Structure 1
Amino acid sequence: MLSLTTRLRPTRKPQSVLHFKHHLCFYCTITHCSALVSKYFSLLNSSPNLQILQQIHAKLLKTSVYNDVILNSKLIIMYSKHKSLFPNAYNLFLHMPERNIYSWNIIIGELSRSGYPLKAIETFKNMRKSRMEPDLYTLPLVLRACATLGQFKPGQKLHCYCEKVGSSRNVFVASALVFFYAKFGEIDAACQVFDEMTQRDHVLWTTMLSGYAQIGDTSKALRVFREMMREKIMLDHVVMVSLLLVCSQLGWLRHGKSVHCVMVKGFLGMNLSLANALIDVYSKCGAPKIARRVFDKMHERDVISWSSMIAGYGLHGHAKKALDLFKTMLDHDIKPNSITFLGALSACVHAGMVDEAKFYLEMMREKYGIEPELKHYACLVDVMGRVGLIEEAERFIGEMPVEPDGAVWGALLGGCRVHSEVEVGERVVKRALSLDPERAGYYVLMANIYAEAGRFEDAERVRDFMKERKVVKMPGFSAIEMDRDSNLHRKSHGVLA
Structure 2
Amino acid sequence: MMKMYSTCGKLDSASVLFQGMRRRDIISWSTIIGGYSQAGLGEEVFMYFSWMRQTGPKPTDPALASLLSVSGTMAVLEQGRQVHALALYLGLEQNSTIRSALINMYSKCGSIEEASKIFEETDTDDIVSLTAMINGYAEHGNSKEAIDLFEKSLKVGLRPDSVTFISVLAACSHSGQLDLGFHYFNLMQEKYNMRPVKEHYGCMVDLLCRAGRLSDAEKMINEMPWKKDDVVWTTLLNACKAKGDIERGRRVAERILELDPTSETAFVTLANIYSSTGKLEEAAHVRKEMKSKGVIKVPGWSSIKIMDRESTFVSGSRSHSQSGDIYSILELVVSGAEAHRFDCQINGAFGFYSYS
TM value normalised by structure 2: 0.82
Higher normalized contact order (CA 8 Å, seq sep 6+, divided by chain length): 2
Is 1:224 matched up with 2:11? no
3-state SS in 2 of match to 1:490: strand
Is 1:307 matched up with 2:131? yes
Q: Of residues 77, 84, 88 in structure 2, which corresponds to 1:264? A: 88
Aligned to 1:404: 228
Q: Which has the larger displacement, 251-260 or 199-208?
A: 199-208
Aligned to 1:365: 189
Q: Of residues 97, 100, 112 in structure 2, which corresponds to 1:273? A: 97
**Matches of residues 340-419 of structure 1 in structure 2 within 5 Å?**
340-419=164-243
Separation in 1, partners of 2:126, 2:300 = 37
Separation in 1, partners of 2:12, 2:275 = 46
Displacement of 1:446 in angstroms is 0.9
Instruction: Report Cα offsets for 1:239-283 as digits up to 9, x if no partner.
Output: 322211221222211110111122334544422111111011111
Aligned to 1:488: 310
Q: Contact 1:374–1:405 (CA<8 Å) still a contact in 2? A: no
Could you say if the C-alpha distance between residues 181 and 477 of structure 1 is closer, same or farther in structure 2, counting changes exceeding 3 Å? Answer: closer
CA RMSD of aligned residues (A): 2.3
Q: Of residues 47, 65, 72 in structure 2, which corresponds to 1:248? A: 72
Displacement of 1:331 in angstroms is 2.0
Displacement of 1:440 in angstroms is 0.5
Separation in 2, partners of 1:361, 1:344 = 10
Separation in 1, partners of 2:218, 2:56 = 58
Counterpart of 2:241, as a letter, is R
Separation in 2, partners of 1:453, 1:222 = 48
Aligned to 1:16: none
Aligned to 1:462: 286
Q: Contact 2:236–2:252 (CA<8 Å) still a contact in 1? A: yes
Separation in 2, partners of 1:319, 1:262 = 32
Runs of 5+ unmatched residues, structure 2? 321-356
Q: Of residues 135, 154, 160 in structure 2, which corresponds to 1:336? A: 160
Q: Of residues 90, 111, 116 in structure 2, which corresponds to 1:287? A: 111
Counterpart of 1:278, as a letter, is L
Query: What number of residue pairs does the alignment pair up?
Result: 319
Aligned to 1:437: 261
Could you say if the C-alpha distance between residues 210 and 393 of structure 1 is closer, same or farther in structure 2, counting changes exceeding 3 Å? Answer: closer
Separation in 2, partners of 1:407, 1:366 = 27
3-state SS in 2 of match to 1:480: strand
Displacement of 1:237 in angstroms is 3.1
Aligned to 1:119: none
Displacement of 1:286 in angstroms is 1.3
Aligned to 2:143: 319
3-state SS in 1 of match to 2:311: strand
Separation in 2, partners of 1:376, 1:436 = 23
Separation in 2, partners of 1:268, 1:381 = 39
Identity of aligned residues (%): 35
Could you say if the C-alpha distance between residues 238 and 373 of structure 1 is closer, same or farther in structure 2, counting changes exceeding 3 Å? Answer: closer
Instruction: Report Cα offsets for 1:362-421 as digits up to 9, x if no partner.
Output: 122222222212222122222222222122222232333334221111111111111111
Q: Contact 2:234–2:266 (CA<8 Å) still a contact in 1? A: yes
Aligned to 2:23: 199
Aligned to 1:173: none
Separation in 1, partners of 2:90, 2:221 = 52
Instruction: Report Cα offsets for 1:436-466 as digits up to 9, x if no partner.
Output: 1111111111111111111112111111111
Could you say if the C-alpha distance between residues 268 and 415 of structure 1 is closer, same or farther in structure 2, counting changes exceeding 3 Å? Answer: closer
3-state SS in 1 of match to 2:64: helix
**Matches of residues 37-56 of structure 1 in structure 2 within 5 Å?**
none
Counterpart of 1:412, as a letter, is L
Q: Contact 1:345–1:376 (CA<8 Å) still a contact in 2? A: yes
Asked which structure has the greater CA Rg, the reply is: 1
Separation in 2, partners of 1:275, 1:418 = 39
Instruction: Report Cα offsets for 1:31-57 as digits up to 9, x if no partner.
Output: xxxxxxxxxxxxxxxxxxxxxxxxxxx
Could you say if the C-alpha distance between residues 261 and 461 of structure 1 is closer, same or farther in structure 2, counting changes exceeding 3 Å? Answer: same
TM value normalised by structure 1: 0.60
Could you say if the C-alpha distance between residues 447 and 213 of structure 1 is closer, same or farther in structure 2, counting changes exceeding 3 Å? Answer: same
Counterpart of 2:24, as a letter, is R
Instruction: Report Cα offsets for 1:116-160 as digits up to 9, x if no partner.
Output: xxxxxxxxxxxxxxxxxxxxxxxxxxxxxxxxxxxxxxxxxxxxx
Could you say if the C-alpha distance between residues 471 and 495 of structure 1 is closer, same or farther in structure 2, counting changes exceeding 3 Å? Answer: closer
Counterpart of 2:312, as a letter, is R
Q: Contact 1:386–1:418 (CA<8 Å) still a contact in 2? A: no
Could you say if the C-alpha distance between residues 403 and 179 of structure 1 is closer, same or farther in structure 2, counting changes exceeding 3 Å? Answer: closer
Could you say if the C-alpha distance between residues 222 and 414 of structure 1 is closer, same or farther in structure 2, counting changes exceeding 3 Å? Answer: same
Counterpart of 1:357, as a letter, is G
Could you say if the C-alpha distance between residues 227 and 356 of structure 1 is closer, same or farther in structure 2, counting changes exceeding 3 Å? Answer: same
Counterpart of 2:103, as a letter, is I
Instruction: Report Cα offsets for 1:90-136 as digits up to 9, x if no partner.
Output: xxxxxxxxxxxxxxxxxxxxxxxxxxxxxxxxxxxxxxxxxxxxxxx
